Chains A and B, each alone.
Chain A
Amino acid sequence: MIENITGDLRVYMHFLGMLIRSQAQYKVNVAVDIGASFAITSLEFVAVLIYFGKIPSMLGWNIGEVAMLYAVMSISFGLAEMFGAGIDAFSDTIRLGEFDRILLRPVGPFTQVVGSDFRLRRLGRITQGCMTFVIALHLLPGMHWTAAKVVALAIGIGSGSILFLSVLILGATLCFWTVETTELINILTYGGRDMLSYPLTIYHQVMQRFFLFVVPLAFGSFVPTCYLLGKPLPFGLPGEMVFAAPVIALVFALCTRVIWQFGVRHYQSTGS
């Protein structure tokens, strides 16, 4: 078991190296793609700025605070998109019968799926996230940084990526049964991203609970940002909950992994 995991990790590093090398061959293309992705995602942020041009605050959150939340979200989602591109394209893997090939190799299917793609162009969104972070810092001149806050920011982004990757895996697992309704998972990925780019507390209680306790995406963006900004969490949760985020993310990832393996077994009995 442990041997398999370290072996798979080594194989993944080789996949990654090769994918980066093959994209680096077309430097101009990659640069154009990154630029386009940066432009597109920046336009989305400009939309937020336009709202705040007319209205000063959103249930107690000013533009600088929303920008901070938005930045954390963009970076963690961008990382998940970059590393999870292979999972995102899984419906094609199934449709083209490539999953058979994956099962014929002595490496875990999961490693091979994740390792099948890596998109440098997603650096566009990550760049936009970093720029937004700088803008947020500029808009929040009075913000007081401590070592704990820096740690909270780092684990927030890390946990957020893991959580989004797990949601992508849930969507991919759905493909073992049907490739027709995969758009539904966009509700959790793109929908979750757009939703959590704004303060969680503006939404209906049911939605708040869902994204905190069922699919805990809020632990990757809203919870750490509240800690940075010294804002209270809903449902009386203590702000220090942010330090539990990695554990929550890992537990959620393990759950999706179990569901994924169930999907693989289903595939092996139906072959479709």
Chain B
Amino acid sequence: MKMIQADGLSKTFRVARRRPGVLGGLRSVFDPEVRKVMAVRDLSLSVERGEIIGLVGPNGAGKSTTIKMLTGILVPSDGEMSVAGLNPLHQRRELAKHIGVVFGQRSQLWWDLPLIDSLRLLRHLYGVPQARFNANLAQLRSMLALDEFIDTPVRQLSLGQRMRGDLAAALLHDPELLYLDEPTIGLDVVAKARIREFLLKINAERGVTVLLTTHDMDDVEALCRRMLIIDHGRKLYDGSVSDIRERFGGERTLAAVLDPAQLATMPHDADGQLIVEDLPAGVHLSRSEEPRIWLGFSRDAIPAHELVAWLGARYSLRDVTFQEPEIEDVIRRIYEEGLLLQEAGIP
């Protein structure tokens, strides 16, 4: 049985616009000027049990509207769906017992209370039997290393600790399906890695299905084999992550600040543009704004640390940073290069 099966989901919002002026405002009350906005159009989705699937798209693409419909918070304008064998529309309360939800930007923990108190209250909210709760809590405590802050009021936790607490909170009742909305937003690299590792582990050990919305392509690459790209409420891509990465996401950018004195001695072309000589294969100078240069390189051509070493051996570097491809870039390139759904071979 599929974990999520949705066919032709659509959601239209009616947005009332107010006319300017006092009289206009009054008129708008009785005769509102309504504009229809299609947040999601004809979206179909099928997710197997045990999958980790990434839902990506720019802001306002319809990601959260889709998740709200799949959880039963929002009634779709059109379409059929079934989640964990239940109908989210008519069995919202029942469904709630089978799913866990984490919003990266909004904690469900009680601000003033120690984490453990929130977890205990959630036990009652979800009606988890005491023995089951104890076993789950013990497991989550060790997997997420909660012990160091479990008795601290939530408001005093760091963002990373809070996110670990929220993950524990969402998993106490053994959900079969976990929705994650921007789970790593605002976290540092170490905290991100820790969260990703945990998600892979519960997916492997408990078979929890994970549906994840994110801005961070790294999240998708680290966690998902399959991804869905949504833009303007429409499904743009549904297929393997590696495919997308090869075709569009492979290129990373290294930004380096060079020594201005050394820059003066380097060759320039006729237009006064800097020339970097003997670049390794697969690396090209994409932009220069002295003393700053940007080098584009494909992941497979050369490992990042080797490129830094190569550069360091020739030039005196003031600063080096890496830029990952943004989801917006990937989408732009999908449009530019005309990769449409049919092409990606969606069944």
Is there contact, CB below 8 Å, between B121 and A14? yes
Cβ A106 vs Cβ B75 within 8 A: no
Instruction: State whether B74 touches A268 (Cβ < 8 A).
Output: yes
Q: Bound state CA distance, A132 and B99, in angstroms?
A: 52
Name 10 A/B residue pairs within 8 A (Cβ), A-sorted. A11-B125, A18-B110, A21-B117, A104-B71, A106-B94, A107-B125, A270-B14, A271-B65, A271-B68, A272-B13
Taking beta carbons and an 8 Å cutoff, which residues of B are in contact with A? 13-14, 65, 68, 71-75, 92-94, 96-97, 99, 101, 103, 106, 108, 110, 112-113, 117, 121, 124-127
Give the A interface residue count (CB, 8 A): 26
Complex Cα spacing A11 to B124, Å: 6
Knowing A22-B113, A100-B73, A103-B72 touch, does A14 contact B124 (C-beta < 8 A)? yes
- Residue from A96, A107, A271 within 8 A of B73 (CB atoms): A271
Interface residues in A7-47 by Cβ distance below 8 A to B read 7, 10-11, 14-15, 18, 21-22, 25
Residues of A bordering B, CB below 8 Å = 4, 7, 10-11, 14-15, 18, 21-22, 25, 96-98, 100-101, 103-108, 268-272
Complex: how many Å from CA A105 to CA B74? 14
List chain B residues, Cβ under 8 A from A105.
96, 125-126
Q: Is there an interface contact between B117 and A18, defined as CB atoms closer than 8 Å?
A: yes
| Contact status A15-B121, CB under 8 Å | yes
Q: Judging by beta carbons under 8 Å apart, are A7 and B127 in contact?
A: yes
| A6: min CB distance to chain B, Å | 12
Whether A103 pairs with B92 at a CB distance below 8 angstroms is yes
Could you tell me if B13 and A100 are in contact, using CB atoms closer than 8 angstroms? Answer: no
Beta-carbon contact of B96 and A101 below 8 Å: no
From residue A177, how far is it (CB to closest CB) to chain B in Å? Answer: 11
CB pair A22–B72 under 8 Å, yes or no, is no
Which residue of chain B lies nearest to A269 when distances are taken between CB atoms in the complex?
B75
Are A22 and B74 in contact (CB-based, < 8 A)?
A: no
Among the interface residues B14, B71, B99, B121, which one has the most CB atoms of the partner chain A within 10 A?
A: B121
Write the chain A residue with the least CB distance to B100.
Answer: A104
Contacts of A15 in B (CB 8 A): 121
Nearest CB in chain A to that of B101: its residue: A104
Inter-chain contacts of A272 with B (CB < 8 A): 13
CB–CB B124/A106 < 8 A: no
Residues of B within 8 A of A104 (CB): 71, 73, 96, 99, 101
Contact A97 B125 (CB under 8 A): no
| With known contacts A104-B101, A105-B125, A268–B73 Cβ distance under 8 A | yes
Chain A residues near B97 (CB-CB < 8 A): 106
- A170, B316: Cα distance in complex, Å: 70
For A17, give the chain B residue with the smallest CB separation.
Answer: B121
A18 CB to closest chain B CB, in angstroms?
6
A266 to chain B, nearest CB (A): 10
CA distance A214 to B113 in the complex (A): 42
Residues of chain A within 8 A of B106, CB atoms compared = 96-98, 101
Report the minimal beta-carbon distance from A24 to chain B, rounded to whole angstroms: 12
Q: Collect the chain B residues with CB atoms within 8 Å of residue A271's CB.
A: 13, 65, 68, 73-74
Residue numbers in A under 8 Å from B65 (CB-CB) = 271
Q: How far does the alpha carbon of A8 sit from the alpha carbon of B127 in the complex, in Å?
A: 10
